[in-house]
Amino acid sequence: MVTRSQLYHDGTLVLDDLPVSDVPAHLADPASVLWLDLHRPGAAELTMLDREFGIHELALEDAAQRGQRPKLDRCRTHEFLSAYAVTVSPDGAQLTYSEIAVFLTGQAMITVRKDDGLDIEDVVARWDESPDLAGHGVGFLVHGLLGHLVDGHFVAVQQLDDSIEELEGLLFAAGRREIEAVQRGSSHCANRSSGCAEFVLPMREVVNGLRRPGLHLITDPLVPYYQDVYDHVLRATEWTESLRDPAASVMETNLSVQANSMNLIMKKVTSWAAIIAVPTAITGYCGQNLPYPGFGRESGFITSAAVIVLLPALLYLTFKHKDWL
């Protein structure tokens, strides 16, 4: 259904919540620019788009289906833009995304939201904060939407980077909880980095496509603003690409640390087994019904006890010197 709408005339906001039935009359005025927001539209709303705006059926089909890749398609009467709002939980364990489809005509921008994940009120607030740019038509509306999406990508990537840095700080912690946290977190961050890249990296081509001169969407005064958005996109994409190696490195380093820890444990267990083997061998051998030097005398007992104490002590000192214990 149509949840929000705004009508601009000569760069001034003149109407909120415009009735759909009044759209054709207002679009007949070249000075009018319209924004329509459709939230989980049904067949009737999509048919209205086809009737009132001449939206291509394939673009309507893409807007109705989930899982479209971020892209910009150019049709005869309009452009179709698909993008995602992305958020990452503070610990990097959860990636949330919200798909949005956008139709761009000479006088209108129609947003199609497929869920509740996109904060459309923030987009509206961005438009309200820049009334001096409202006179630049649809390009002004698209700039506010892109600014919201790209800033969200930047925050999500930063959240992932902070999570990876936190895991790197826990890598060499000896506590069991820290080890388990690194094991869970490294796997989550690697998966979230890959998932985030699917939504962030294609935006470079999307924004670059909007800046094409032949599109006639961006007026000269808007060029610096779109360049600023493009710079943010480049920073977000480069940062996203740079996170792939650290996320994988944390996993590999964690495995190496665990392997080294296991080797150390085995070394200690083997050393203690060697120490314990000496008194075990002596008492086991001397416990046989066979005479031995000092057998049946106190001196023999003292000698046996001294060997049991001294040889393990010597082994202990030797292993300690070699850092095996």
Q: What would the DSSP string read from start to end of 125-178?
A: HHHHH-GGGGGGTHHHHHHHHHHHHHHHHHHHHHHHHHHHHHHHHHTT--SHHH
pLDDT band for position 264 (cuts 50, 70, 90): confident
Report the pLDDT value the prediction gives residue 27, as an integer from 0 to 100: 83
Report the pLDDT value the prediction gives residue 269, as an integer from 0 to 100: 77
Q: Which of 16-20, 84-88, 218-222 has the lowest mean pLDDT?
A: 16-20
In this predicted structure, the answer to whether residue 293 has a pLDDT above a threshold of 70 is no
Mean per-residue pLDDT of the chain: 82
Report the pLDDT value the prediction gives residue 223, as an integer from 0 to 100: 92
Q: Which of 28-42, 137-151, 310-324 has the lowest mean pLDDT?
A: 310-324
Q: How many CA atoms lie within 13 A of 94 on its CB side?
A: 3
Q: Tell me which of 272 and 121 has the higher pLDDT.
A: 121
In this predicted structure, the answer to whether residue 290 has a pLDDT above a threshold of 60 is no
Report the pLDDT value the prediction gives residue 323, as an integer from 0 to 100: 63
Report the pLDDT value the prediction gives residue 177, as an integer from 0 to 100: 65
- Assigned token pair, 256: 């190496």
pLDDT band for position 171 (cuts 50, 70, 90): low
Q: Which of 28-37, 50-59, 236-245 has the lowest mean pLDDT?
A: 236-245
- Assigned token pair, 241: 């690409």
Report the pLDDT value the prediction gives residue 196, as an integer from 0 to 100: 84
In this predicted structure, the answer to whether residue 267 has a pLDDT above a threshold of 70 is yes
pLDDT band for position 306 (cuts 50, 70, 90): confident
Report the pLDDT value the prediction gives residue 263, as an integer from 0 to 100: 77
How far apart are alpha carbons 271 and 325 in whole angstroms? 7
Report the pLDDT value the prediction gives residue 215, as an integer from 0 to 100: 78
pLDDT band for position 112 (cuts 50, 70, 90): very high
pTM above 0.85, yes or no: no
Report the pLDDT value the prediction gives residue 143, as an integer from 0 to 100: 94
Report the pLDDT value the prediction gives residue 317, as an integer from 0 to 100: 82
pLDDT band for position 250 (cuts 50, 70, 90): low
**DSSP calls for 83-138:** EEEEEE-TTS--EEEEEEEEEE-SSEEEEEESSS-S-HHHHHHHHHH-GGGGGGTH
Burial 174-192 (b: 16+ CB within 10 A, else e): eeeeebebbeebbebbbeb
How far apart are alpha carbons 281 and 148 in whole angstroms? 76
Q: Please give the average per-residue pLDDT across 230-249, as a whole number.
A: 82
Report the pLDDT value the prediction gives residue 187, as an integer from 0 to 100: 66
Q: Please give the average per-residue pLDDT across 274-297, as a whole number.
A: 65
